[in-house]
Structure 1
Amino acid sequence: VVIGLIVAGLLLAALPMLRSSNGLFAEKTENTSDETPVSYNKAVRRAAPAVVNIYNRNLNGAANVLSLG
């Protein structure tokens, strides 16, 4: 832990841009109120053919239920 604190202190002394809020780790705060809402329309249309319903009917009418025990 002590070595980590020493390294952090040396980095802060050597690279002052890490101290400011405009440095490498600054969060971007952009105005997103003018952006259009996100839509999943294209993704749903692309994935729709992959969604299928599988029906299994038994020809003799008897249900074949297999138990695991």
Structure 2
Amino acid sequence: MTDRGNEQADQSAAIKDPDEWVTGDEPPTAAQESYLSTLAREAHAELPPDLTKAEASKRIDELQAETGRGQ
């Protein structure tokens, strides 16, 4: 049996701020680009060109809040 409290604490400790990512300056992953496209379409939002992986992550969080996805 696992303790869900410890499991959730371990997961939250593993989540880093995108600004601290070693690969944050790289281009977004294909999955990020696809999901961003979907979220932007649903939110009727424009996406800036040439996002980095870290910027894409932050924009995903913002658009999830706008669209109610990811909750």
Larger RCO, structures 1/2 (Cα 8 Å, 6+ apart): 2
> Please, what TM-score do these two structures have when normalized by structure 2?
0.23
Q: Which has the higher helix share?
A: 2
> Please, what TM-score do these two structures have when normalized by structure 1?
0.23
